A and B are shown apart, each in its own frame.
Chain A
Amino acid sequence: MRTTDLRGWIPTAVAAVTAAAFVACGGGGDQAGQEGGEGQQAAQQQGPVVPPDSQAFVRGAVQFEGTAPEAESIDMSQEQFCAARYEAPEPRTQHVVVNDGMLQNVFVYVSSGLERSFPTPQEAETLDQQACRYRPHVMGVQAGQPLAIMNSDSVLHNINATPSANRGFNVSQPQAGMTTTRKFAVEEVMIPVACDVHGWMNAYIGVLPHPFYDVSGQDGSVAMDGLPPGEYVIEAWHERYGVMSDTVTLAAGDTASVSFTYSADMAGAEVPLGDPIYPHDHGEESHAAPADAEVGNR
């Protein structure tokens, strides 16, 4: 793990903190609908974007050392519609996907250091069910942002989300083309999603109060753009190998790089899920929430 420290850029940070404190105070508790955050937080909508000339960037790579366990083949014979959509080789599990030493499907995000709020996007992130698989397998969404779950298959899927800090849901989609939209109200890394009809289908969703997250692609790379200058803890989460973290200090215009190296030895590591966010419980081991985390708590 390598940390790239760069020059600080204090004035902008101070301004950002002040602005954040201002809007955070304006955010009241929204007691509306219970279904994963119908109401929007005014503070999050109004949060100013980071001015282009003070933006910083993070580039990262997730590597894997050792021999990765072989992906198991998935027996889809009970669902011919889906089985027919795969040519040889047959579909395989996506729990551990390593290409040329790079680990895919790692959720990488800023876990602490962001002392301001960010606008909540109104455009939905999409989770698709295609050929009896979730696409993507790991994804992120902002708290309060719509999550559109689509069924592209002509078979029944149910979407069973079982968060801890948020309320879950379990929705039946018996028809192709159906889209269900839900929101998660508060930060939570990660929320498991599963289809009970097809026991092999699972996905994970990371919910954050800011847009600085990414999921490692086939080449293991991640990117987070437009961060305000500051010092950040960057955490990586993998469904089988657990969490790793790194820190970066960014000044305006900087591009820092982070790298995480998972190894075969980490198999069986504790994989935290659904860390409930209750301030009186925040110990050293839990994610340090940004100062305005309460705004999203409904």
Chain B
Amino acid sequence: MRGTRRVARHRGAGRWNAGAHGNGPGWTSFLSLMPLLLIAGLALPSAADAQDVENGQRLYERWCAECHGAEGEGDGPAASRMLPRPRDFTEARYQIRTTASGNLPTTGDIMRAIEHGLPGTTMPGWPNLNRSQQRDLTAYLKSLSPFFERLGPPDSLSFESPPGGGEEALESGRQVYTKLECDRCHGSAGRGDGPSAPTLTDWRDQPVRAADLTQPWLFNGGSSVEEIHRRFLTGLDGTPMPTQADALNAGVVDSAQLWDLAYYVRSLAPERVPPPGRNVVRVERIADDEELPAGPGADAWDDVDRYWFPMAGQVLERPRQFEPMVDGVWVEGVHDGSEIALRVSWNDPSQSPDSAWMQWQRRVAGALYADGTPWPTDSLPDRLAVQFPTEIPEGRERPYFLMGSAQKPVYLWRWNSRDGIRESTATGLGTAGPLPESRLQGQATWSAGQWSVVFRRSLEGEGQRISLESGVAVPVAFYAWDGNNAETGKRAAVSSWYFVVLEVPTGNEVYVAPAAVVLLVAGFGVFMVRSARQGETGGGAGDDGSGA
């Protein structure tokens, strides 16, 4: 528990030159220039700056104040729903810089963040602003803190070019990862599940996640090897991520080893980065002499295609979840003509309920349960749900993607880290009820920050249990809850509808047909998705931009 910071600062003071108030040297030099300026009768460079700052302020008020606050203190109306919270510009504490730890960012650093946004956070890029507008906005942001005036422009660190990587570099990088104890926070497999991860807080005492290094598309400072390496030297100010510059200077690691580490960290991402627009899970037909994998660890999964479906917080119904822990699921499926096995894997740093993460749960609840709903103080399990319609829809119409409706219910495969697997139906969020005599089987494992659950069921359904037929696209959607992230009930990560298609059985005589069929089926799926999206309303949860 830290104390409160006194925040009364230069509110109301002319912002563009606020720093000059506080600064002997700046003010003195300004005064000493006055006679010259009066004689010359020319516009000051700083007068032009003031113009920029005024333009920047207009842009700020239009585009930025909602999150960053009218005074730039990171406390806009939307801020309380965000983790990490928006930047407080009055403190000039910037995460993504090219400068040393604790130093100010360069103008270019700030402009880069405006242009490209900060992936993994709620900060989007602003390509709608032209360079000149971005410059004006940057000038205004800098005017919000007296540090820029007091300290003058910072020096960027010098960064070498990447040496090229390779197998040896990866092995060396793996050792450096251990030597620098990156695993303390980021975990042994890099999924942000290290022993110190549950207690991490940012400069405002808000909970902050150790980056999941296997999801580089969420790195807020960029995912190239150069960008990763740069952050080792600069650190991420305002977060627990320190600079390694002192370790480098002390000879704990050398410059080449730090590059090796950057290559290694980049290699933790899946080799095949999830391609966009793959909306159909193709469930392969295994050979007749093979058996369906029983559990998540079976070798049989190694050769099966993986599909990635991004998830976002459920924000359409109260209580909402703006910052879910689970960012997406990997899905693989196989069938043998009578039974299907579906493996769903997702990264979750805690095996809820985990007492080590209760502190995290309290902090997250304190930070995000601002809408008056009671905080869950008990230990909550992790949960997952796979959602289908109760029958194959005719035409394009599917049940409402948030657990259906009374007219169009949904059928669910549910898993819970406390109670295991069961089948349910639902007619809307929060209405799921179990089906009697579950026909669903499955197994779950958690390892190094990742859950894997295998569901198995006969292809043939009954009643509200949908039947899965070869060659027919069946809508599917996913839900995930991280109990230790205070997620329960409607506070969940959700996906939009996708499709599952069972590969048609291959006759012994046909070896060419499957490929053609698969192409057709996939095309059909894509067509359906596109058509459905055009006709769909209210399915925007995946696009709300809150998937930090």
Contacts and interface: CB of A to CB of B under 8 A. Distances in A.
Question: Do the two shown chains form a genuine complex with each other?
Answer: yes
A156 B247 CA distance: 11
B171 interface: no
A36 B239 CA distance: 18
B200 interface: yes
A78 B9 contact: no
A31 B152 contact: yes
A280 B23 CA distance: 10
B4 interface: yes
Interface residues of A, number: 52
Contacts of B203: 162, 168
Interface stretch (A5-13, A174-182, A209-217, A221-229): A174-182
Contact of B3 (A198, A199, A271): A271
B461 interface: no
Contacts of B196: 78, 196-199
B446 to A, nearest CB: 18
Contacts of A173: 246-247
A34 B104 contact: yes
Interface in A125-168: 155-156, 158-162, 164, 167-168
B252 A281 contact: no
A167 B152 contact: no
Interface in A169-213: 169-175, 178, 180, 190, 192, 196-199, 202
Given A167-B103, A276-B6, A160 B252 contact: no
A190 B4 CA distance: 11
Chain B contact residues, majority secondary structure: loop
Interface residues on B, range: 35 or more
B3 A35 contact: no
A270 interface: yes
Contacts of B23: 29, 294, 297
B238 to A, nearest CB: 8
Contact of B240 (A158, A178, A271): A158
B246 A172 contact: yes
Contact of B247 (A36, A155, A178, A298): A178
B181 interface: yes
Does more than half of chain A's interface fall in helix, strand or loop, or is it mixed?
loop
A132 B359 CA distance: 20
Contacts of A270: 3-4
A52 interface: no
Contact of B180 (A29, A171, A174): A174
A292 to B, nearest CB: 10
B4 A276 contact: no
B298 interface: no
A155 B123 CA distance: 35
A34 B288 CA distance: 69
B22 A178 contact: no
B199 interface: yes
Contacts of B240: 158, 160, 170, 196-197
B6 A274 contact: yes
Contacts of B104: 34, 167
Contacts of B180: 156, 172, 174
22 contacts: A35-B103, A159-B242, A164-B5, A164-B6, A169-B101, A169-B102, A170-B235, A170-B237, A170-B243, A172-B246, A173-B247, A174-B181, A178-B246, A178-B247, A178-B250, A197-B181, A197-B184, A198-B196, A199-B200, A271-B2, A271-B3, A272-B5
